């Protein structure tokens, strides 16, 4: 992914290229204007069409078209082209320093706006990354809490199974279930107390004392 600096350099290069192309266009346009003026002056002097210069009077007057012999090929088209060239000369004005100054202001204004857009885009990207990071952390916390809740539920279920076995007189089975419950949730006091009762019934007094102590610490 391109950094903001790379984007800025690319934008500056594009602006310079556009400015150079525009200057080349104005330069070509100026040459074209000069060429049109030169041809128009030559036409007025009769230098570009010797045949016509001999046939036409020195000063063009109303009705001079009738004086041109119909045998001269393409004469009407030539006159139309000359007229269009003179119109174009009147419409097209050479670019001045002020024109380029306006363009320079436009380029800088556009560049400033582009930089502001890049800053805003970068800010939004950073906010989006921060938001996604927070969402990921919250999702992990929720998963951990759900896992703990499931473990506690399983521990409670195993404790109840141990109680059922204890009522049936299956002391060893009850002790095993209490041990499984304690492994899943070592912070609960009841499984320790119930297992201590099993130890007493089996005359395992040291184990009973140890479980009673652990139960009291968690109560």
Residue, of 47 and 86, whose pLDDT is higher: 86
pTM above 0.85, yes or no: no
Let me know if 128 is exposed, middle or buried by CB neighbors in 10 A (0-12, 13-18, 19+): exposed
Ranking 111-120, 169-178, 191-200 by mean pLDDT, the lowest is 111-120
3-state secondary structure of 1: coil
Q: In the chain, what are the domains?
A: 4-133 (no CATH), 145-218 (1.25.40.10)
Q: How many CB atoms lie within 10 A of CB 195?
A: 29
User: What's the pLDDT score for residue 37?
Assistant: 78
Q: What percent of the chain has pLDDT over 90?
A: 40
Closest CA to 200 of 154, 168, 166: 166
What token pair was written down for 177?
A: 């279930």
Q: Are 11 and 111 in contact (CB under 8 A)?
A: yes
pLDDT-derived band at 106 (thresholds 50, 70, 90) equals low
Four-residue CA torsion sign, 151, 154, 160, 164:
negative
User: What's the pLDDT score for residue 97?
Assistant: 46
Q: How many residues does the chain have?
A: 219
Show contacts of 94-98: CB within 8 Å, 24+ apart.
94/30, 94/33, 95/26, 95/29, 95/30
User: What's the pLDDT score for residue 104?
Assistant: 58
């Amino acid at each position: 992914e391109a950094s903001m600096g790379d984007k800025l350099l690319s934008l500056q290069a594009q602006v310079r290229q556009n400015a150079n192309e525009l200057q080349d266009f104005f330069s070509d346009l100026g040459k074209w204007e000069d060429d049109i003026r030169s041809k128009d002056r030559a036409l007025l002097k009769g230098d570009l069409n010797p045949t016509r210069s001999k046939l036409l009077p020195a000063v063009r007057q109303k009705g001079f078209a009738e004086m041109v012999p119909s045998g001269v090929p393409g004469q009407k088209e030539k006159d139309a082209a000359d007229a269009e060239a003179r119109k174009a000369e009147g419409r097209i004005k050479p670019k001045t320093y002020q024109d380029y100054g306006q363009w320079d202001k436009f380029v800088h204004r556009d560049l400033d706006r582009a930089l502001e857009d890049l800053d805003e885009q970068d800010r939004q990207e950073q906010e989006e990354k921060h938001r996604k990071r927070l969402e990921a952390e919250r999702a992990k916390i929720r998963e951990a809490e759900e896992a703990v809740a499931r473990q506690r539920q399983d521990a409670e279920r195993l404790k109840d199974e141990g109680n059922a076995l204890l009522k049936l007189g299956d002391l060893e089975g009850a002790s095993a279930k209490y041990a499984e419950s304690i492994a899943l949730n070592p912070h609960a006091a009841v499984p320790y107390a119930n297992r201590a009762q099993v130890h007493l019934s089996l005359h395992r007094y040291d184990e009973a004392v140890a479980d009673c102590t652990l139960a009291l610490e968690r109560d």
